[in-house]
Structure 1
């Protein structure tokens, strides 16, 4: 089962459940956060709260693909993990050494260390949903999407759902100096999540999730990459345990788990591109790309 938010004909936000048969049921809650809180109060799981509601409801007449979807959860905070896949480690080394292949840097230490890299990514105000534009940063010439599995957490760091995330990244800014990481990762519309939340109880093995990323230019596919979450070096529980350690975690916090799909080193996003990130079982996160000032150009 999945949870979505969509905009109805009156421009109001509606929370809904989507069954395995793709039937959509409107829920009597304003947000997924309300379900999280109610489940906590009743010592139940979110799926129990939802099932107790839809048993008395009729599905809506509109098909899922015809709905105007919104970001599925208005998370106070989105965090992200870095260098959790071998491919990501190699890409970070390439950036940090000015384009040397097979170079080794401190990113190797991060990849092999006991402590994972976890950084702050976004707030609700900076996060968008499917079909909304991601922006390329105006002071970067080398930008890519980072397709990732997102974990929706309760305040204890327990995984209550899975979603898709796009952790937009400036490879040139991070490569210039690792202390520039916040600027390489955080700006307006630099984080997209959606289109749905797959409830954790309905996922037998999250490591079997396949992530597919496609990039289109003038509606012609210029890049496609795939990866399995099973290629992740660290366990999901390991990542969440470090996020909650001595930290305040708000219910509904999203933790992006890192990327294993990196476009070629001579590729950068441009105004007018379109990014599709698909995880079968969750959906497809679709975002057009827009420039804030001018257009990004390929790195030298």
Structure 2
């Protein structure tokens, strides 16, 4: 069961998309309202959706006919770093400066008890499916980072999973780790979507395939795949550190790190089309444009 949001005229609609591709109106303005209504009723979001579906008829629409938008206006989007071996290797490549002596910061955080967590985006900085992601004007080495996103409630429970694109400036982060906020946060430097897969309907979140394809001028220039089975840290572990002495909001999203890094010195260019797939969620597509 997936939750989608789409534009119809001047209105935004929330709907459920079944595995049979049937679409049901959820009669709520947004996902956060659905979460809060379910909490008021003392039931899970999945149970709330099932009850709505049982008492209504499917819409006479197909998913390709809908103008999909960001599935929720996430009040905050956080991200975890260096949670995959491939990510650690890429960060070390970025920061290479002569002969390294001993472990780097990235080696240490990969093995540490405490994960790397940072603020990534807010609703105003986040694009949705089909939207534009921006290329920072002072970077010459920028890539998408395909990630599994956790959609949380205020108590830190995982309500669902979405796809995240954590746009990153590899040159800025590699120059100095203190530049991380500038390497990660700018206008439309993040996208999520196209749906939220309800957590109760995912058999094993550690068995999801992630794919990333990048097209330039109609030609495929990047085609990489990975699996969440390669995660170094547990999802609950990441959430626990995020929630510790912190305030979570209904609809907070936590991106769980990437295991896909485009090869060599590849950098995005304006007009590049980025497609990210995750099993059972769908395909998040964005176009890169100048900031």
Q: TM-score, normalised by structure 2?
A: 0.97
1:213–1:224 CA contact under 8 A, matched in 2: yes
User: 1:213 offset after TM fit, Å?
Assistant: 0.3
1:276–1:284 CA contact under 8 A, matched in 2: yes
**SS of residue in 2 equivalent to 1:213:** strand
1:75–1:124 CA contact under 8 A, matched in 2: yes
Identify the range of structure 1 (194-203 vs 36-45) with the bigger mean alpha-carbon deviation: 36-45
Q: Tell me if 1:29 matches 2:24.
A: no
Q: Distance in 2 between matches of 1:70 and 1:103?
A: 46
- Structure 1 gaps of 5+ residues are 293-300
1:260-275 mapped onto 2 (5 Å cutoff)? 260-275=259-274
Q: Tell me if 1:119 matches 2:83.
A: no
Cα distance per residue 1:105-151 (max 9 Å; x no partner): 11000000000000000000001101001010000000000000000
1:2-17 mapped onto 2 (5 Å cutoff)? 2-8=2-8, 10-17=9-16
User: 1:166 offset after TM fit, Å?
Assistant: 0.1
User: 1:11 offset after TM fit, Å?
Assistant: 2.8
Q: Distance in 1 between matches of 2:185 and 2:118?
A: 10
> Does the C-alpha gap of structure 1 residues 111 and 155 become closer, same or farther in structure 2, counting only changes over 3 Å?
same
Partner of 2:134: 135
User: 1:280 offset after TM fit, Å?
Assistant: 2.2
User: 1:101 offset after TM fit, Å?
Assistant: 9.7
Partner of 1:282: 281
Partner of 1:226: 225
1:135–1:188 CA contact under 8 A, matched in 2: yes
Partner of 2:236: 237
Q: Distance in 2 between matches of 1:161 and 1:61?
A: 26
Partner of 1:152: 151
> Does the C-alpha gap of structure 1 residues 146 and 246 become closer, same or farther in structure 2, counting only changes over 3 Å?
same
> Does the C-alpha gap of structure 1 residues 27 and 180 become closer, same or farther in structure 2, counting only changes over 3 Å?
same
1:136–1:289 CA contact under 8 A, matched in 2: yes
> Does the C-alpha gap of structure 1 residues 217 and 107 become closer, same or farther in structure 2, counting only changes over 3 Å?
same
Q: TM-score, normalised by structure 1?
A: 0.95
**SS of residue in 2 equivalent to 1:247:** coil
Q: Distance in 2 between matches of 1:41 and 1:66?
A: 33
Question: How well do the aligned residues superpose, as a CA RMSD in angstroms?
Answer: 1.4
